[in-house]
Amino acid sequence: MPLIGVDGCFLKSRMKGQLLVALGRDGDNAIYPVAWAVVGVENKDNWLWFVKKIKVDLGLEEGEGYVMVSDRQKGLIAAVKRALPWIEHRMCVRLIYGNLKKNHGKKPDMKLKIWNLAWSYNEADYKAKLRDIEQYDQGVYDDLMKSKPEKWCRAFYKLGPYCEDVENNSTESFNNSIGKARYKPFVPMLETIARLAMVRIAKRDVICSSHEGPYVIEKLESLHKLASESTVRPSTNQMYEVTTSYGCAHRVSLESRTCSCRTRTIYHGT
């Protein structure tokens, strides 16, 4: 998948510094380690160096057609904008919610409302859920708007990359999996991370090569019933009108492989 998650975590040994990591996704939507590096501090210069290395190694050019997910670290945002100006840079909604919780405490229903907003597939749904948050708590709404929701809501995602992620949990999971390695001295730490990544990739390769990964199977099974209950009416130029079981009609284009609901992206692979 054309998705890259990036994050930084602190070293746990006597050696001070931070470990920057970049992760991709394999064919079964699982973690695929791409790159990691040790820097003194998480700032614009170090992130720019790291992003440029990824850009060259993966042949990203200006970033068109790729997605990057991260937190709102200012140095990282500036580095990505400079090195990959055309990439779609999404913010992690989990961290957005974490910042809101610091300022507003554990308000009942706030978490669900924030995640529902992030999961909005189209602008109409987004506006309705945004109004719901404004009516719920004006202070939460004001702080939420400062985070630029268009950077972390599905309604504003570009069509094409076929990735719906609104969070960066994969990097957190990877950082936890190398927790013990981060206590080791510099060279043993990097060697241990490399071995862990090598074994992970080998195991995932076996699963993906079998074409029996649970992610795709479960995804297709969940969509099959919904599709069977819909009414399809053909038009011209490979256009169709699809009416769902709950009465909503949407335009489907087989040529561009899109649906106006934006909930479904039609993908045809080889």
Taking the C-alpha atoms of residue 125 and residue 238, their distance in angstroms, rounded to an integer, is: 27
Q: Are residues 174 and 87 in the same domain?
A: yes
pLDDT of residue 80: 96
**Looking at the domain assignment, is residue 47 inside a domain?**
yes
pLDDT digits 0-9 by tens, 45-103: 999 999 999 999 999 999 999 999 999 899 999 999 999 999 999 999 999 999 999 99
pLDDT greater at residue 246 or residue 240: 240
CA-closest candidate to residue 121, choices 269, 250, 19, 245: 250
Taking the C-alpha atoms of residue 85 and residue 64, their distance in angstroms, rounded to an integer, is: 8
pLDDT of residue 218: 74
pLDDT of residue 269: 37
Of the chain, the percentage scoring pLDDT greater than 70 comes to 94
Q: Are residues 8 and 88 in the same domain?
A: yes
**Looking at the domain assignment, is residue 252 inside a domain?**
yes
Spell out the alpha helix ranges (H) of 105-137. 110-118, 123-136
Q: Are residues 26 and 84 in the same domain?
A: yes
Taking the C-alpha atoms of residue 181 and residue 259, their distance in angstroms, rounded to an integer, is: 45
pLDDT of residue 266: 42
Please check the confidence at residue 263 and state whether its pLDDT lies above 80. no
248 lies in which domain range? 214-258
Average pLDDT, the chain: 88
pLDDT digits 0-9 by tens, 144-197: 999 999 999 999 988 765 577 888 988 989 999 999 999 999 899 999 999 999
pLDDT of residue 162: 58
Q: Are residues 134 and 37 in the same domain?
A: no
Please check the confidence at residue 270 and state whether its pLDDT lies above 50. no
Q: Are residues 18 and 68 in the same domain?
A: yes
pLDDT of residue 264: 56
Confidence of residue 207 (pLDDT cuts 50, 70, 90): confident
Taking the C-alpha atoms of residue 47 and residue 32, their distance in angstroms, rounded to an integer, is: 20
pLDDT digits 0-9 by tens, 111-146: 999 999 999 988 889 999 999 999 999 999 999 999
**Looking at the domain assignment, is residue 126 inside a domain?**
yes
Q: Are residues 14 and 142 in the same domain?
A: no
Q: C-alpha dihedral over 255, 66, 176, 18, to 10 degrees?
A: -170
- Total domain count for the chain? 3
Residue 95, token pair as written in the block: 């961290």
**Looking at the domain assignment, is residue 161 inside a domain?**
no
Q: Are residues 14 and 129 in the same domain?
A: no
Q: Name residue, tokens 């987004």.
A: 126
CATH code, 64: 3.30.420.10
pLDDT of residue 213: 56
Taking the C-alpha atoms of residue 119 and residue 112, their distance in angstroms, rounded to an integer, is: 10
Taking the C-alpha atoms of residue 178 and residue 180, their distance in angstroms, rounded to an integer, is: 6
pLDDT of residue 34: 94
Residues 118/154, Cβ–Cβ less than 8 Å: yes
Q: How many CB atoms lie within 10 A of CB 222?
A: 9
Please check the confidence at residue 198 and state whether its pLDDT lies above 90. yes
Residue 80, token pair as written in the block: 């990505």
Q: Are residues 147 and 16 in the same domain?
A: no
Q: Are residues 181 and 205 in the same domain?
A: yes
Q: Are residues 66 and 183 in the same domain?
A: yes
**Looking at the domain assignment, is residue 100 inside a domain?**
no
Q: Are residues 9 and 123 in the same domain?
A: no
Residues 255/238, Cβ–Cβ less than 8 Å: yes
Q: Are residues 131 and 57 in the same domain?
A: no
List beta partners, residue 32.
Answer: 24
**Looking at the domain assignment, is residue 152 inside a domain?**
yes
**Looking at the domain assignment, is residue 103 inside a domain?**
no
Residues 181/192, Cβ–Cβ less than 8 Å: yes
pLDDT of residue 211: 64
**Looking at the domain assignment, is residue 244 inside a domain?**
yes
